[in-house]
Amino acid sequence: MAVMRLAKEKEKKKKKEKTIRPDCETCQYFDFDEEYGDYVCNMMLDEDEMVRIMEHGAAECPYYRFYDEYTMVRKQN
């Protein structure tokens, strides 16, 4: 019984790992635009790239970079 539960938990964990995808909110190019009043992508994406990202999410974006605050601060100093 315990073995079956462990196997199920392992399977659940695998599924969860597969579904975790990067999204624009964690990307360093996703910034607040005061004129627009919302967060927008600062990369110049062409129409095909925008359609692909809207359909499949940021996981399909070739420009995605994880926003790491510590790295950004290090570059500024």
Q: Pick the closer one to ligand SF4 by CB: 8 or 39.
A: 39
CA–CA dist 40, 53 (Å, integer): 13
**End-to-end CA gap in the chain:** 56
CA–CA dist 41, 39 (Å, integer): 7
Give the residue, chosen from 15, 16, 58, 76, that forms a contact with ligand SF4 under the rule CB under 6 A: 58
CB of 68 to ligand SF4, least distance (A): 14
> Can you give the length of the chain in residues?
77
Site string for ligand SF4, 3-42 (x = CB under 6 A): ---------------------x--x-xx----------x-
CA–CA dist 11, 47 (Å, integer): 38
Q: Which residues bind ligand SF4 (CB under 6 A)?
A: 24, 27, 29-30, 41, 43, 53, 58, 61, 63-64
